[in-house]
Amino acid sequence: MTKLAIIAGTIAVLAASASASFSQDVQNDRFKEVLDRGTLRVGVQGAFKPWAFRAPDGSLQGIEVDLAQTVADHMGVALEPVVITSANRMEFLQQGKVDLLIGAMSDRPDRRKIVGIVEPAYWTSGPTLMAKEGVISSWDDIKGKPVCGKQGVFYNKIAETEFGAKVIAFAGNTEAKQALRSGKCVAWVYDDTSISADLASGEWERYEMPVDTVFSNPWGAAVPLEEMDGIWGTFMAGMAYNWHKDGTLIELEKKWNVKPSPWIQKMHDELQYDDSYLEN
């Protein structure tokens, strides 16, 4: 089942990249289409707390849904969040099933060949491990051992290729963490933000985050590749810049109880425009 999903995802990505290579000219079709339609379809994760997850009435909520709402408000259209998975999000964007991705996507060079990833990034995170106390002391300890992961997350590849772990990828976090508890794997490889939230919840006594993240990788919003240099990509770059500049992201951290990230604070400080000349 998981293999199938991976194969399907791979085919989808290949198909998307094949179609992407044909269209190098700047187009603004998608942007116009959104204005004509009056709704903006944004691809968000469906089960990734607190970025995008379900409310008990079934509606989507979270940091990324709030960010998508600001985009829709600026365009004067209604927002329609569409649930994507890590395996199909880029294909959905290129096909036109969604107009924009704000879906916990790490900005990677291979992904930039397929979709237009907007700078500046709006969040950042990195792979780390959660394990029973005293089991793991460094990344090298997972060599040749089973490690639980989540399907479609590129951290799995890092754990396998760089550290030689045997990754068992699950469809959901709940299942993966249960597998860790029942001893199917020595550690759970995932986002540092998510793991520190788990450890803070008091549900994981006798568990720890024993290693530092390998690196921290920014997350970018994405538009279709052929719109990257047109209105859509340029407008989104402005949106992302403003999220940092006016403190939207810092407010969202507070609103959703995320541990304040030094990176977001740093970006907020750096992306201020010096307009002191207005005082003269």
The answer to whether 171 contacts another protein (rule: CB under 8 A) is yes
Residue 155 or 163 having the CB closest to another protein: 155
Stretch that binds another protein, among 64-72, 89-97, 157-165, 224-232 (CB under 8 A): 89-97
Residue 177 or 244 having the CB closest to another protein: 177
55 binds another protein (CB under 8 A): yes
Instruction: Please identify, among the stretches 93-101, 216-224, 231-239, 246-254, the one whose residues bind another protein according to the rule CB under 8 A.
Output: 93-101
Tokens of 122: 């709006």
Residue with Cβ nearer another protein (41 or 244) = 41
63 sits near another protein (criterion: CB under 8 A): no
Structure-block tokens of residue 74: 């600026």
Whole-angstrom Cα distance, residue 85 to residue 259?
25
Can you tell me the distance from the alpha carbon of 123 to that of 120, in angstroms, rounded to the nearest whole number? 9
- Is 242 near another protein (CB under 8 A)? no
* Closest CB to another protein among residues 48, 243: 48
Is 47 near another protein (CB under 8 A)? Answer: yes
Confirm or reject binding of residue 193 to another protein (CB under 8 A): no
Task: Please report, for residues 85, 124, 218, 228, the alpha-carbon distance to residue 48 in angstroms, rounded to integers and kept in the order given.
Answer: 10, 15, 17, 27
Sorted by sequence, the CB contacts under 8 Å of residue 220 that are 6+ apart come out as 105, 107, 117, 118, 119, 121, 122, 240
Q: Is 13 a binder of another protein (CB under 8 A)?
A: no
Nearest one of 163, 118, 174 to 140, comparing CA atoms? 163
- Kindly state whether residue 4 participates in binding another protein, applying the rule CB under 8 A: yes
Q: What's the closest the beta carbon of residue 30 comes to another protein, in angstroms?
A: 13
Q: Which residues contact 13 (CB under 8 A, 6 or more apart)?
A: 90, 91, 114
Residue 174 touches another protein, criterion: CB under 8 A: yes
- Name the residue nearer to another protein (CB basis): 10 or 28: 10
For residue 124 the two structure tokens come to: 């950042």
Among 73, 15, 33, residue whose Cα is nearest residue 230: 33
Contact 101, 42 (CB under 8 A): yes
Whether 43 and 222 have beta carbons less than 8 Å apart is answered as no
Q: Which is nearer to another protein, 38 or 238 (CB)?
A: 38
Write out the residues near another protein by the rule CB under 8 A: 1, 4-5, 8, 11-12, 46-49, 53-58, 83-85, 88, 95-97, 171-175, 177-178, 181, 201-203
